[in-house]
Amino acid sequence: MIDKNKKILITGASGFIGSNLTELLIDKGFKLKILVHYNSFNSLGNLKFIDSEKLKKIEIIRGDINDYNFIEEITKDINIIFHLAALIAIPYSYNAPSSYFKTNIIGTNNILEAAKKNKVKKIIHTSTSEVYGDAQYSRINENHPICAQSPYSASKIGADKVAESYFNSFNLPVTTARPFNCYGPRQSLRSIIPSIISQALFNKGRIKVGNTYPKRDFTYVEDTCNALISICGKKNNEGKTYNIGSGKSISIDELIKTIGNVLNIKIKLTKDRKRKRIASSEVDNLLCDNKFIKKDIKWIPKISLNEGIKLTSKWIINQKEYKTDKFIL
Ligand SMILES: NC(=O)c1ccc[n+]([C@@H]2O[C@H](COP(=O)([O-])OP(=O)(O)OC[C@H]3O[C@@H](n4cnc5c(N)ncnc54)[C@H](O)[C@@H]3O)[C@@H](O)[C@H]2O)c1
């Protein structure tokens, strides 16, 4: 259990997972400071979906994790950090790898260095299942070799190694959480489940996707956030890594059929070359071995894929900007 007197910083709070984690922690009554990436529109990103009365209870800071002095300053009164800020879109990482290396590796280094300097008591560093590359055996446990199949993956491997080195070299209390694919309300239309749902709902069931053979293990965002909170609340797990996943994988083909069935929409599928990942960069199968997290912190996912698709669709149907007949690269 996390002590309610501790002050928590969330980076990446305006993002998909970060905004859901922020709302969950506000609802649980925690003291929060959240970091929103500075932008000239004064946009709060996904935080706009949270009731303004709730947001009044927390401190919102705008800035950039690439600025060490700024990060050192804002972590002075912080006891716990959930570090989620990152560049995450794999396709863009092919075009602009160095910005991924900068934000994801150096940005993470800034967070950890500031945490060390300010004696932060616990840091949850968010990794990704993409660090494993293609499964060399399945299910993928935390000891599976890592392989950088995309610049995004390389940048997250780099970040994980920085975290590992800060634990080993400086005894920094950092724990790594490695979510497999996460989905739910507020996720970008670039991601597979919102993309399929919005095309099915708003484009008369006509769906364009890239490769449909890869298999992924999907977890509903509330389950992922609860896993992050439980990992943080567990004592003596510094230096450890936890996979977060449902333990079930599904191909994109099967996923499209499932979404069609849940929404009761007849799907007409076309493949789009522009959306395909380069063959050697595509990761065919990511299936989570979640034995460690189940045993160590007693976490189990509560929302089934069908239920999660219903909840996500119910949210998407009310969002103006998701009403598109196009899909986003
Ligand atoms: N969504 C998934 O399925 C998934 C799966 C595994 C791991 N993850 C990891 O979870 C974390 C959150 O992912 P998400 O899906 O919520 O992504 P997201 O893109 O919705 O959120 C990332 C946030 O980081 C912020 N950010 C980017 N650069 C920044 C900078 N320089 N300074 C400050 N903030 C910056 C962005 O503004 C954004 O709000 C990431 O670390 C990602 O690698 C996500």
Decide whether any atom of ligand 1 lies within 6 Å of the 305 Cβ.
Answer: no
Q: What is the pLDDT of residue 280?
A: 73
Residues 28 and 91 in one domain: yes
Q: What pLDDT score was predicted for residue 204?
A: 87
Determine the pLDDT at residue 321: 84
Q: 114 in a domain, yes or no?
A: yes
Q: Are residues 190 and 173 in the same domain?
A: no
Ligand 1 centroid to 69 CA: how many Å?
21
Domain count, the chain: 2
* Residue 309, domain CATH: 3.90.25.10
* 174 in a structural domain: yes
Tell me if 183 sits within 8 A of 271, measured CB to CB.
Answer: no
CA distance 269 to 177: 35
Across all residues in the chain, what is the average pLDDT? 94
> In this predicted model, which residue has the larger pLDDT, 283 or 287?
287
Q: What is the pLDDT of residue 329?
A: 43
Burial of 7 (0-12, 13-18, 19+ CB in 10 A): middle
Is residue 64 a part of any domain in this protein? yes
Domain at 48, CATH number: 3.40.50.720
Q: Is the CB of 131 under 6 A from ligand 1?
A: no
C-beta neighbour count of 25 within 10 angstroms? 23
Q: Which residues pair with 220 in a beta bridge?
A: 183
pLDDT of 90-104, one tens digit each? Answer: 999 999 999 999 999
Band (pLDDT 50/70/90 cuts) for residue 282 is confident
Mean pLDDT of 127-135: 95
Model confidence at 328: pLDDT above 80: no
To test the ligand 1 pocket, which listed residue (24, 75, 88) has its Cβ within 8 A of the most ligand atoms? 88
Residue 325 has pLDDT above 60, yes or no: no
- pLDDT score recorded for residue 322: 85
Q: Say if ligand 1 is within 6 A of residue 186 CB.
A: no
pLDDT single digits (tens) 214-263: 999 999 999 999 999 999 999 999 999 999 999 999 999 999 999 999 99
CA distance 27 to 217: 28
Atom 18 of ligand 1, nearest CA residue: 15
Sign of the torsion angle spanned by Cα atoms 165, 242, 280, 200: negative
Residue whose Cα lies nearest atom 1 of ligand 1: it is 182
Q: Is 14 in the pocket of ligand 1 (CB under 6 A)?
A: yes
> In this structure, are 233 and 103 located in the same domain?
yes
* Lowest mean pLDDT, pick from 166-175, 202-211, 285-294: 202-211
Q: Tell me which residue range forms the domain holding 151.
A: 7-182+218-244
